Structure 1
């Protein structure tokens, strides 16, 4: 391994001068810095980050802690964050929790031990107390989900309004038996989306009983599959389904492909998110789209600003992005002859 002493010997400089040149110390002339950097590049020198951290310096790494990289929300966010961090001289380190708070804790311990500059986190439903303590020592932002024990700086979407829009569209189409497939209320996003669904029913003059709910893991494609099987087993009941996550939407769409149910003639569907394939699935999926790339960019810039100016400042800040209902061919009025009285259970 090439060391600063090797560079110093090659250039006839002291080790301390080489170290200061690599650290961009203003006491070193620009000419010397150029010679040192050129030699370091030619010789394949890699900075010893562990030694820097032992001296109390933080790294240029930002941790991203998310539940599931397979979810396009998170993969898109990770991609955009990575590009923005790279432009500012930072590197993104990805950690996946699979909604397990003990896995979340292990990742946070590693990030803390490596003295990351900051953390962007989509927290689990109940972060461990030690996770909360660790995050209090690291500049961090919450993304999509907001837990009251963590930073009051948050970037997310208007979950309530997104589901209200999606459900109101079905109510306006004349549906009176609508099923919501979403995440658990223990998650703040799950609670907000469920309330948005119920708000649309109330605004449409429908009783809460008009809305069936199938709640489960939001990142589980299998939960979406199982939920639609139960819904179809109860026909004639729900004439429409509104989804509360991208993965659940994928599960429902995959399951429907295996049935003889016609969309929207037999069943109307409103998805969550706007995957590239949604526009050409069947008749085209009506769905709620979100400005994920813009949100990720804003999140990155906010954290960079916080690290550059006041890293210990945790003033309350919230950036809320709105969803847009994209109407395609998967929604239509309910099947003729269907009435609310036909609900079987």
Structure 2
């Protein structure tokens, strides 16, 4: 190829009309009832030839931008990086340019990035907010289609997709209780983040339902350092827990580091469980029981909701119960929880 692949090239190679090829590449196949077989042939040819859509020309033709903003708290967190990768791939396949920003868990940076993205004439935005609502107040009053992932503000008009954090946390703590644990500590992340709030609520409710009085809650951020420092403090207490619930895998790494330094064995002396089910959990010295969030499905659903709003399919407003979509998680059992039922 001469390096300049156009829809005319693809139309010629596949023997389909320019109109058909254009509709497939613009992501409007379903609307125009183009068969799956035809879509597959055209998309495979476009991929083979290395077709890159001319977004400037596309914008001029449609009189609207084809740029979507994506803002995440930190790409160093496996959960956020998988979300970002899935969202970007899906939107690219639909002919959109994705402007991604990493706020580095900094609210001032998040505000700057939101302002910069809004200046790009976005057609839509997908965001994982840091937690405080102020940065998104103006956005809530705008007409930019927006979808939140994992975190949300219930009184905002945006759609949001996340794991059922309360139910997941309750399930995780209940597993520890079923294994005979009566002293369960919880190390949380940022208390301003709604997902953290629901996880803490699930932890507390499980203890309450089972009549357990021991409760320990510490932590202020979803970081390895926070997990490390909080575990150090926890180990200084006379009444130590038999199990520690880390509300993220990043926190978990700090917990494990502190336990190792103190020469406390897992799970013989202290059991540990976590959220996020990162791929490395299977390869730790003691594989860790964890909540696996349906990350790919969350990202895919968020993109679908955004595209439906962009296409103006009647999703401008819904009741809170319809706007906030919660997906079930899966508890992955490994060897980090000791069985105390016969002790």
Shorter-chain TM range is 0.7 to 0.9
Deviation at 1:125, TM superposition (A): 2.3
1:163–1:196 CA contact under 8 A, matched in 2 = yes
* Among 260, 266, 277, the residue aligned to 1:263: 266
Aligned partner of 1:227 in structure 2 is 230
Is 1:237 matched with 2:240? yes
Residues 148, 320 of structure 1: CA spacing in aligned structure 2 closer, same or farther, 3 A cutoff? Answer: closer
Deviation at 1:314, TM superposition (A): 3.3
Residues 153, 187 of structure 1: CA spacing in aligned structure 2 closer, same or farther, 3 A cutoff? Answer: same
- 1:195-214 to 2 correspondence within 5 Å? 195-207=201-213, 210-214=214-218
Deviation at 1:334, TM superposition (A): 4.6
* Among 88, 112, 124, the residue aligned to 1:118: 124
1:265–1:334 CA contact under 8 A, matched in 2 = no
1:132–1:149 CA contact under 8 A, matched in 2 = no
Residues 45, 202 of structure 1: CA spacing in aligned structure 2 closer, same or farther, 3 A cutoff? Answer: closer
Aligned partner of 1:276 in structure 2 is 279
Is 1:318 matched with 2:321? no
Aligned partner of 1:307 in structure 2 is 310
- 1:1-345 to 2 correspondence within 5 Å? 57-128=63-134, 131-135=136-140, 136-207=142-213, 210-218=214-222, 220-234=223-237, 237-310=240-313, 313-316=316-319, 317-334=323-340
SS in 1 for 2:212: coil
SS in 1 for 2:336: coil
Deviations 1:28-58 (A, max 9, x none): xxxxxxxxxxxxx9xx996658x968x9944
What is the rounded CA distance, in whole Å, between the counterparts of 1:122 and 1:307 in structure 2? Answer: 19
How many aligned residue pairs are there? 292
Residues 101, 45 of structure 1: CA spacing in aligned structure 2 closer, same or farther, 3 A cutoff? Answer: closer
Quick check: 258-267 or 77-86, which moved more?
258-267
Runs of 4+ in 1 over 4 A off after TM superposition: 44-49, 334-337
What is the rounded CA distance, in whole Å, between the counterparts of 2:341 and 2:183 in structure 1? Answer: 11
What is the rounded CA distance, in whole Å, between the counterparts of 1:102 and 1:56 in structure 2? Answer: 35
Give the TM-score normalised by the residue count of structure 2.
Answer: 0.77
Residues 288, 134 of structure 1: CA spacing in aligned structure 2 closer, same or farther, 3 A cutoff? Answer: closer
Quick check: 311-320 or 286-295, which moved more?
311-320
Larger radius of gyration: 1
Deviation at 1:236, TM superposition (A): 5.1
2:308–2:315 CA contact under 8 A, matched in 1 = no
Deviation at 1:305, TM superposition (A): 1.8
Residues 305, 46 of structure 1: CA spacing in aligned structure 2 closer, same or farther, 3 A cutoff? Answer: closer
2:273–2:288 CA contact under 8 A, matched in 1 = yes
2:180–2:341 CA contact under 8 A, matched in 1 = no
Give the TM-score normalised by the residue count of structure 1.
Answer: 0.77
Residues 312, 177 of structure 1: CA spacing in aligned structure 2 closer, same or farther, 3 A cutoff? Answer: closer
Structure 1 runs not aligned, ≥5 long: 1-21, 25-40, 338-345
Structure 2 runs not aligned, ≥5 long: 1-21, 26-48
1:69–1:75 CA contact under 8 A, matched in 2 = yes
SS in 1 for 2:261: coil
